Structure formats: C-alpha cells, structure tokens
Chains A and B, each alone.
Chain A
Amino acid sequence: MLHALHIVVCAGIVPDPLQTLEPVTGANGPALKNETMLPAVLDPWAASALYEGANLVAKNPGSKLWLVSMGPKAKLQQVMMTVAQKATFELVPIDSASNGFADAHATAAAVADAIEGIPGLEKTRLLIFGGWESASRGAGVTLQVVGERLGITDQFMGVDQIEMREDGSFEVLERVEGGKHQVSVCAGAPAVFGWATGNLPEPRGNPQIGMANMRTVMPALQKAKPTTLADGGLKFVSATLPSQQRQTRVVKDLAPEVIAAELVEWIGAE
C-alpha cells in the first residue's frame, strides 16, 4: 500500500562556487563582499534532497512537495528560474541574508516557523528533507534543530537512500566510514533526513513544469516578508579565506604508470 507523504525540503541558496568569496566585516558582523551581486545556485547537497523528494512524491500518489528556501528575495527568484523546471513543488520563501554567517539556531527557528505556517501540512505524513552538508559553511546542526523545534526526533544524516515499505515504515541507508552504509528501519513519518548525494541524477529541466510552478512561486516571492535573524550572541573573531595551495611541477615524458604510482603515493601520504 502506498502512503501519501508531505515532504518539505529545506534548501538554502549559496554563491556560485566559481565566484571569489571575500569575507568582510560590516555593521552587523561578517558578511561576504558584494554579497548581493554574487550569482547563486541551490545548495548542491539540499538539491539532492529536492530531487529525492520529488521522486518519492511521484511514486506515492497524493503526496505533496514543498521547498522552504531562505535567501534574499531577488536571488531566490533567479535561482528558482532553473530549479522550478526540475520538479513540481510549492515554494515557501524566507527573505533573509544567505551568506553563511547566520546563527544556525536562528536560521532553524525561522525555517521551523515557516514549516509550521504551511497550510494543510500534516505532521503525521511529514518528512523533512535537507542537505547533510552545505556549500556555505554549514554549521551541520540546522536541520537537526529544525526537527527538534518541530518535535521530530527520528533523524537520519548522510542519507543516500530511502525505501518505503507497504506498512508505512521505511528503510534508510546512512553513510558511515569506509564507503559503507548503516541500515535503519523507521516506523514511519514524521522524520528528518539530511541527504548526502542520494542516487538520482539531476532531473532534466522541463519548462512546462517551470511555468506551472511559477504560478505559485512568483506570488509567494512577492508576499515574502523580510526576516531578520537574531544573532543569538554569536560573535565571529575573524573570517578569512583558506589560503590557496598550488604545488605545480612541470614534468615531461613521464609514463602513465609512473604518474599513477606517484598519485597513489601522494594520496597515501594525505
């Protein structure tokens, strides 16, 4: 028997990885230089969660997918132009900074409040999805705190696969050391899943899905009210870019097996 699920994906937006990110200290603490101008993408870890969520919704008729995303409204709009073509969802935007310096607890509070405010959401069917990691200095706790605030204590991190069972329970594969997975069985919703990469490729864009999504995405963006996150006493002593390491040797006419051996040796040393 299939079960209708209410899946909420929490996915932030992050600066395009190709951009130079330069921390600066502003009036409100650390921020990124030219933050508002940096092109953004959906956080790649959370994007995996979105694709997995869409897949589960497609397999379980009657299910519904929401995407809760925090970021400056203009940036969210830009990112949604691409993301909205990948899967059918309803956007729940939170208009706030997304520079990675926000306090994880304040962020989790805002996200949990947004989830609580979703009309028609049933907690007994609720699966909270998100990224296990983040491309923007994730504190590694946001998703768990969101779950706690919503009273959801079944939480799985580093998830690569969920298999729904007929009785509503599901088997979860979580990454552990050595490329292995820990297998757990959860009795059913509600639960929190911090996804690793999952197994699904990025879906093909479909502009017709995008157009359908836009009918709800654009009004939601227009209605989104600016949210200021409390700093919760968080203070940054300093913020610097990691120093660039470039160790280049120019070597000619080296046999492939010698190169391979050297790489193995180098990896071993690391």
Chain B
Amino acid sequence: MATSATASSAIMLTLPTDGIRQMQWRFADRYDLQMLVQSARGVARGTVAQMVASGERNSHEWTPAKNEMLEAFDRAGITAAFMEPEEGGFISGPKNLALALAAFELAWVDGGAATASLAGFLALAPIHERGTPEQSRHYKELSAPPQPGEDRKPWRGAFVLTEPIPYVGVDTGMLSGKVRIAEWREDEEPWLQVEKRGRFITNIAFANFVTAAVASDDPRIKGSCVVILEETDEGTFDHGTPTKKLVHQLSSTGDPIFNLKVPAGRIVGGYAVREGVLVPNFNHSEVIEAVFRRTRVTVGLMTAAKLLSAVEPVIRYQRGRFRGAEGAKPGTVRYEQGIQQREDALHRLVEVWATGEAAASLGFAAARLFDELDPIEKQKTAIMAERGISGGRAELKALRASEERAVALLRMSERDPRREEIAADPLVQFVLKDAEANVLCPATKLWNTGVGANMMREAVSLMGGYGITEDCPGFLASKWMDAQLEATYEGPEAVQRRQLTITMTSEVFLAQFSAWTGEMRKIAATHPGTGACTLATAMRMWQWTLEHLQKATDASGSKLYHGQRQGVTFPLADALCWLLACRYQIFDVLELERRGYADVTSGGDLAGTVRFLSELCHVQSARAAGEVSRICAELVFGYNEHPSWESEKCATCCFSASEVDELEETMPGIAAMAVDVIGPDGSHPTKAGPCAGCAGANDFLQLQNKLCSCLSGSRLAKDRAAETVSKVMIPEALDYPA
C-alpha cells in the first residue's frame, strides 16, 4: 500500500492556535467551555506558574500559598465547573469535556495543580453520580464558591477509597474501612460507627468532608457502601500526616484516620431496610465504577498536556542553543537554527509532538463520549426501572438482547430497512457507547500516562542538561516525574490493562472495531497522507492476532488467551491503545479540515496546519504499526517451541549432507537453498536449532508483509514534519514564568 503526502504544500506558520484546538476537540460552538479554558489558563500560567517558579513544590506541607491556589480556582470558575447553574455553576449538562479541558490547561503548567482541582470533583463525584437528590444539592451548595456578596468559605472534599495500608495486614482490593450500627432505635434513623484509614488521599489536608468507601462489619448492614463523613462529626477526623511525595506537590496527599458516628442518611445513594437489615442502595463498587470511569480520562489528558506543553520550550532551546557563542554570529545557520540544524533533534521532537497530539485526541474523544453517554445512561436506567429490573447482573442479562441487536446493526448493510429502527433504540445506543467507553477510558489512562511518561523523558533529554534542572523553561523535569504518578494513581497500569483485557473482547466492541477498520481504509482513500491505510492494516493485524490467540495453545497445550495469562492479554491491550490513539488523532485532523474550511474566519494558515497535523498522524500511525507488529509477532510465534537439533523431529525436518548432494545432482543449485543441513558426523550450523517453520501462520505473515510495505512514505512524512518544526514561528518567550 503506497501512501502519499497531502496534496497541499502549505506550511504551518505558527503553533496551533486556540481556534484550531477548538475545532479539533469539538468545542468551537461551546463558548462556556472556551471561557473555562481561558480562565483555567489564566490561573495556570499566572498563580500556579508563579508558585512553581518560587519553589512551592519543595514542601510536602499544605502551605498558605497552596491554599491561595484553591481560591484562585474558585475565582476562575474552575471549582464551579462541576456544578449546574442552579448549584452555583455556569455549565449545563454533562461536564466530562469541561473538566477535562480545565485539567488540561492546569496540567500544561503543573500536574499537582490539576490534581488538586480534580480531587475536589472526585470527592463530589460519588454524590453526584449516585447520591440522593438531597445529598447532591446539599454538598454541592456547600462546595460552590461564594457568589458576589456572599460571605462564606466553600467546603472542600476528599475521596477516600480502598487504598491498602502496607505492612498492617490489609490486602489490595479489600476495603480498609468498616461500618457498624452504633444505635438503632425503633422508628428512628440508624446511626453508624465508621472506622476508616486512608492511604495517599488527595486533598485531605484541608478537607471538610470525605466520601469514604467502607465494608460492613455488622450483620445488620449488607455489603459495602460509600459514606459521607464531615469533620464536625462526633469522633476522630484526623487529617493525618502529609505524604512525602516527590511529585505533584501542589496537591495535598496524606493518610487520614477516621472513627466517626454518623447518621445512616450519609450513605451515598440512600438505603432501604429489609427484614431488619440496612441495605445500601449502591454498594461501594457501583459508586466507584461510575466515578472512576470518568475521572481516569482526565488524568490521561493531564499527561497529554505535558507533552504538548514541551514543544514550545524545546523549540526555543534548540534554536537558541548556540547564541552567544563566539562561533555563532547572527545570520549564520548555527545562530538562527541552533541544534535544529540536526535531523535527529527535529525527528525526536516530532515524535514527542505526535504522541502528545494522539494522547490529546484519544483523551478528548473519551471525554466527549462520556458526555454523550451520560444522558443515554440515564435513559437506560429509567427504562430498566420501568421494567422492574435492578441490580448489576439482572441489568446485564436484560441488555443481552440489545447487545445482539447492536452487533447485528454493525454488520448490517447500509441499505438494510431495519437499520433505522435499531439505531433509534436507546438501549442499542447505550450498549454501543458503553462498549466503546469501557475501552476508551482505560486506554486513555493507560496509554497516555505510560507512553506519555516515556515520551516526557525524551522531551527532557532534548533540553540537554538544562532539562533536568529546576530552571528548565516549562518545568519539564517536574512534568516527567509527575507523569509517573499519573500512570499510577486512580488505578495503576496493571489495573487498566486488566480492565481492557475484558472490555476489548466484548462482542459489541469487536464488531465496532471491525467496522472501524473498514472505515479507516475509506479515510485512507481520501486522505492518504494521514497514515490511515497503515493504521487500518495494523488494526486488522491486531484483530487477527486476538482471534488467533483466543483459539491457540502454547507448546504445552495450555490455552493462550485467558485471564491469568497476562503475558498474552496485557501486551494485546497495550497494542490496542496505540491503535486507538492514532484513530482519534486522524479523526481530529479530518474534523479540523472539515470545520476549518467551512469557517471563513479560520485564516490562511489552516492548510499548513492541516498538512502538518496530518503528517504527525502519519508518523504516529507508523510508530503504532511498528508496536503492534512487534507485539503481535511475539505473541503469535513466541509460545511455539523452537525446534532443536536434538529433537526427533529434527531428523524429518532437516536434510542430511548426503541427501543434499544427491538432490544437487538432479536439481543443480538446490544445495544453496538448504539451510539446516546435518553433516555425516552429526554437525549442524551454529545456531539455536533448525529454523522454525511458519505452518499455520501464513495469514499473519502476509499481514505483516503488507504492514511493512504500508510504512512507505511514513519517514518522508516525518522529514516534512521536521522541516515545519524547524520553521514554525514561536513566541519570543514562554507565557508563564519558569
């Protein structure tokens, strides 16, 4: 498959503007979000940057200056972004994209600041997602920033999950909190005694309330729940000692201890009493799942922001590297271009940039998807309630028919008369979006943070020794370290891989993925310069490999694809993430092109920007294809036993020297083609054994061959992107202090 450059020869003149990003990430028509972006940027590049530059990160303690940052969030509308207008906010409807954009802007300067903003939402999220209307209204009103003329301090919250306490006998996955009945008088609300020790809890230094996950330690309480604890409750509300983090120091983290007596009305989502037992309406897993599947996307976007924020300081450093030296006089190439004379410096920066673009595209696509999913999920819940279906398993069973209809829809021809009716079914819409969201959320968290952290190291290395100092413009060294925490908190990489291994094999998702592969090929036909064809082939290879591994066994006959075999499932999950990131990166460029040319105010640089971003897609598609090819090849061949010189099979698969001599007499030249020949004395070529055959893997090898040739043009795209990087205009100085 040959790929070609985009037809346009325009060159991008400046770094992508706000207008470009608004179109790519689909908020060009949302002035509420554009305002939020500008406000968050003001705080990030003002208050937050000044704090980082003045060394506020050097303390683990929660300082007055850090507290001022929270007030800056309030003033800028960041705190209120979580709330509805009637609750003191200014954005109506789902807010996943809004919160993602705010965190992106804050993380552009400092990940800890972004985390501090997110953690407040995280504390409220269980109440927002699963709380009773009264709980939701009460705690959001308390947490809303004061309106003009109001004199009150907003409440701050923390989310206290299940973190195990090391060395004190608590296992990962077990709740480290207990709840018992403290008092239960007839016809009165029960009182609960809650004991909870938290570990690495964000926002805890200043939290006025927490939402804590606890398990029942009393036969009169069923299962587990999330309960709201306030600092004025009777008992111990100990904020604990600060964690000595090496990263994200602008957010507060500590290990709190709670032993409090609270009314049962604090159980998030309420409860029922059945046969003398208090039954929470939602167990802690149901609450947490609803929360984390949304907030993890935002964390992934924080790392994306770091990568894109590194581009400008690196370009400035590269160009100015030799200025001031005796040999670099103004006007000379050495003076004007500095290190950017060298291809390697440009190529490496192109890779950092391309990764940042892909990560942002994946993350914002996921955030938008959750915005679309939220109302559909509510509709699904209402339909289920109408049908009298409640509980996880009963719902799953009830949705089975909708899943089958969704798969049928995906496989249906465009002209099928049933299409319209099935597509309009809200339950079908739900299962389709839910299947996609179940993959996109862990994919964003896993790929953006994991690959992002590695690429941040690359960005730091492009600044030379300067990169690893506190003086480095853009705080790149801090961002590199911070990215490592982002890969860990809210569910470390193994948790995301584990989730992906389950969700990526759902029938609905795989049917979608198959349709996406065809769709990508169609895009390639109209936009060959994006690398879409390469990506389509890599997607086909991934799906072929998954199907193969689901049936295949290893050399000892053990099944390859199953939950415990993480050596198989986890790399496949990693490979999928590379593909997804590229897919959404290409979509964002197509959207920019579609929307940009329709908008007469886009300016003359649009063609150049589309061209450059397309080339980054091509570069990233080639990198993704390489990763997928490597991972799939290892998995397809790596579990076969390598033939050995000593095995009995060797006698049948190798030629003896005398056999070769005889064949040579009738077929001259054949001796040169015989690789594995056993000599009369049993000697053999010096290697591990006879070369492995490819029986059963022809299809894979054909795909791999095709993928190799699909890479044609990708390095040319990288060369062109590098040329743009060497010429693009950047501001004279970074717009935040360093």
Contacts and interface: CB of A to CB of B under 8 A. Distances in A.
Contacts of A78: 18-19, 34
Contacts of A208: 77, 85, 90, 147
Interface stretch (B479-487, B511-519, B730-738): B730-738
Interface stretch (B36-44, B186-194, B548-556, B697-705): B36-44
Interface string A20-38: 1000000000000110111
A209 to B, nearest CB: 9
B76 interface: yes
A206 B42 CA distance: 13
B299 interface: no
Interface string A194-210: 00000000001111101
Interface in A24-77: 33-34, 36-39, 72-74, 77
Interface string B457-485: 00000000000000000000000000000
Contacts of A38: 14
B603 A37 contact: yes
A257 to B, nearest CB: 26
Nearest to B605: A37
Contacts of B32: 207, 211, 214
Given A73-B601, A205-B76, A81 B733 contact: no
Interface in B1-44: 13-14, 17-19, 31-32, 34-39, 42
A265 B34 CA distance: 49
A77 B37 CA distance: 13
Contacts of A218: 31
Interface in B70-94: 75-77, 80, 85, 90
Contact of A81 (B13, B31, B604, B729): B31
Contacts of B75: 204-205
Contacts of B17: 37, 39
A262 interface: no
Nearest to B75: A204
Contacts of B37: 81
Contacts of B14: 34, 37-38
B169 interface: no
Contacts of A207: 32, 35-36, 39, 76-77, 80, 90
Contacts of A37: 13-14, 17, 603, 605, 729
Interface string B292-333: 000000000000000000000000000000000000000000
B693 interface: no
B602 A74 contact: yes
B148 interface: yes
Residue from the set B19, B42, B90 with the largest chain A CB neighbour count within 10 Å: B90
Given A16-B735, A205-B77, A208-B90, A74 B35 contact: no
Contacts of B602: 74
A227 interface: no
A54 to B, nearest CB: 13
Interface in A63-114: 72-74, 77-78, 81-82, 84-85
A19 B732 CA distance: 6
A255 interface: no
Contact of B42 (A77, A84, A205): A205
A71 to B, nearest CB: 11
A18 B31 contact: no
Given A37-B13, A205-B76, A207-B90, A74 B19 contact: yes
A18 B731 contact: yes
Nearest to A207: B77
B18 A34 contact: no
Given A36-B604, A37-B17, A81-B35, A20 B731 contact: yes
B39 A39 contact: no
A39 B18 contact: yes
A206 B148 CA distance: 9
Interface residues of A, number: 29
B39 A36 contact: no
A214 B731 contact: no
A210 B90 contact: yes
A77 B38 CA distance: 12
A249 to B, nearest CB: 14
A91 B733 CA distance: 31
A74 B601 contact: yes
Contacts of B601: 72-74
A214 B601 CA distance: 19
A52 B85 CA distance: 29
B603 A205 contact: no
Contacts of A211: 32, 35, 85, 90
Contacts of A84: 35
Nearest to B609: A37
A165 B148 CA distance: 27
A16 B14 CA distance: 14
Given A37-B14, A205-B42, A19 B731 contact: yes
A134 to B, nearest CB: 20
A73 B34 CA distance: 15
A77 B17 CA distance: 13
Nearest to B77: A207
Contacts of B729: 20, 33-34, 37
A260 B390 CA distance: 77
Interface string A127-168: 000000000000000000000000000000000000000000
Contact of A16 (B77, B604, B731): B731
A81 B90 contact: no
A161 B410 CA distance: 69
A81 B605 contact: no
A210 B90 CA distance: 9
A69 to B, nearest CB: 15
A217 to B, nearest CB: 8
Contacts of A33: 729
Nearest to A214: B31
Contacts of B34: 77-78, 81
Interface in B254-308: none
A81 B735 contact: no
A34 B735 contact: no
Contacts of A77: 34
Interface of A: 16, 18-20, 33-34, 36-39, 72-74, 77-78, 81-82, 84-85, 204-208, 210-211, 214, 217-218
Given A16-B735, A37-B17, A211-B32, 9 more contacts: A18-B731, A19-B731, A34-B14, A81-B34, A81-B38, A205-B42, A205-B77, A207-B76, A218-B31
27 contacts: A16-B735, A18-B732, A19-B731, A20-B729, A33-B729, A34-B14, A34-B729, A37-B14, A37-B729, A73-B601, A74-B601, A77-B34, A85-B35, A205-B39, A205-B77, A206-B148, A207-B32, A207-B39, A207-B90, A208-B85, A208-B90, A210-B90, A211-B35, A211-B90, A214-B31, A214-B32, A218-B31
Interface of B: 13-14, 17-19, 31-32, 34-39, 42, 75-77, 80, 85, 90, 147-148, 601-605, 729, 731-733, 735
Top 6 closest A-B pairs, CB basis?
Answer: A207-B77, A36-B603, A74-B601, A37-B14, A81-B38, A207-B90
